[in-house]
Amino acid sequence: MSKPEFWNNEKRYYDLKSFFINTFGCKVYKIQIDAGFTCPNRDGKIATGGCIYCNGKGSALREQGPLPSVADQITTGKALYRRMRDAKKFIAYFQTFTNTYGPIEHLKSLYDEALAQDDIVGMSVGTRPDCVPDEVLDLFEEYAQSHHVWLEYGLQSIHDKTLKVINRGHDSETYCDAVHRTADRDINICTHIIIGLPGEACEDTIKTAERVASLPVNGIKIHLLLALRGTGLGDMYEAGKITLPTKEEYVATVCDILEILPPDMVIQRLTADGYRDIYLAPDWGRNKLDVLNTIDRELKRRDSWQGKRF
Ligand code: SF4
């Protein structure tokens, strides 16, 4: 038994870069967009405090003043990538807050604007599983007939007890229902999970991954829990009320998870980064490249790869 050949890569997991090259024949770059959305877990519709790890600020762009249009953000993003690399194709990545939270006409105008730009081959839209009514999914189903479309669902944990602790404002059943309604419409699904959540042991995170692996999910982002200044979690960390995983614990859990995921599930992220101005802990998490290299070394040491125990 060895790693799947269809990955066409040198890695021990099916990374997003390889998936795009296999799908489009070239590298595809995601351009981050802040389209001015809010979040129902912050604006009072569900709650006001938000998830305990969320700093609630949105993108750096938002802090600089009025947001440029979606088209202008894409033009800027393309220019940046083209300066650095041989970039020809792009995905519009609606990243900030809950990007399906608004009247359907408003959503359609933003997505239409993105998909109308040159060299945009599709879009990836980050949202919550409780913000995708059928009319929104019907809209995505239409886009998916002519474009490459992903919906990214924040789940974080399959355990309702943890979802309460972190103040997610939805339960696991809501996530499973959203996944099934999305998969029925042939839209790609990416799920975000977090390692190191308060009250969770490694086994709990693995149970989350097992559940995700059992569902029609096409991609996953595995995040490291970051303690950020100005968040509820940051306060808990500074008060000594929580401990965060060590690098060794984190890497071992990531590898355990990769082993039980389907070989064709696209690994879109294996750690977390950014937030330099408000970053508190864990200190080792600041070096993303080191974390990724350590994961590679651990998989090699185990003579293992994504899906080996699926
Ligand atoms: S759902 Fe996302 S944007 Fe909303 S509070 Fe949680 S982390 Fe922040």
Taking CA atoms only, the protein residue closest to ligand 1 atom 2 is 97
Q: Which ligand 1 atom is the nearest neighbour of the CA of 168?
A: 6
Output the six-digit token pair for 14. Answer: 């099916």
Give domain status of residue 308, yes or no. no
CATH of the domain at 151: 3.20.20.70
pLDDT in tens, 225-284: 999 999 999 999 999 999 999 999 999 999 999 999 999 999 999 998 888 899 999 999
Sheet of strand 219-224: strand arrangement: 28-33, 89-94, 120-127, 148-156, 188-195, 219-224, 266-269
Report yes or no: 270 and 256 within 8 Å, Cβ to Cβ.
no
Angle between helices 70-84 and 104-115 (to 10 degrees): 30
Rounded to the nearest angstrom, the distance between the alpha carbon of 175 and the centre of ligand 1 is 15
Burial-class residue 7 by CB neighbours within 10 Å (0-12, 13-18, 19+).
buried
Question: Does residue 185 register a pLDDT over 90?
Answer: yes
Looking at the structure of the chain, the number of domains it has is 1
Q: What is the largest CA-CA distance in the chain?
A: 54
Rounded to the nearest angstrom, the distance between the alpha carbon of 51 and the centre of ligand 1 is 5
Report yes or no: 7 and 18 within 8 Å, Cβ to Cβ.
yes
**Average pLDDT in the 273-301 region?**
95
Q: Rounded CA gap, 100 and 5, in Å? A: 36
**Ligand 1 contacts CB of residue 50 (under 6 A):** yes
**Average pLDDT in the 142-169 region?**
98
**Ligand 1 contacts CB of residue 226 (under 6 A):** no
**Ligand 1 contacts CB of residue 7 (under 6 A):** no
Output the six-digit token pair for 166. Answer: 């972190």
Give domain status of residue 310, yes or no. no
Give domain status of residue 218, yes or no. yes
Q: What pLDDT, on a 0 to 100 scale, did the predictor assign at position 200?
A: 97
Average pLDDT, the chain: 96
pLDDT in tens, 224-239: 999 999 999 999 999 9
Name the residue range of residue 238's domain. Answer: 5-302
Rounded to the nearest angstrom, the distance between the alpha carbon of 56 and the centre of ligand 1 is 7
Give domain status of residue 235, yes or no. yes
**Ligand 1 contacts CB of residue 219 (under 6 A):** no
Residue 92's contacts (CB-CB under 8 Å, 6 or more residues apart) are 31, 33, 70, 74, 114, 115, 117, 120, 122, 123, 124
Give domain status of residue 119, yes or no. yes
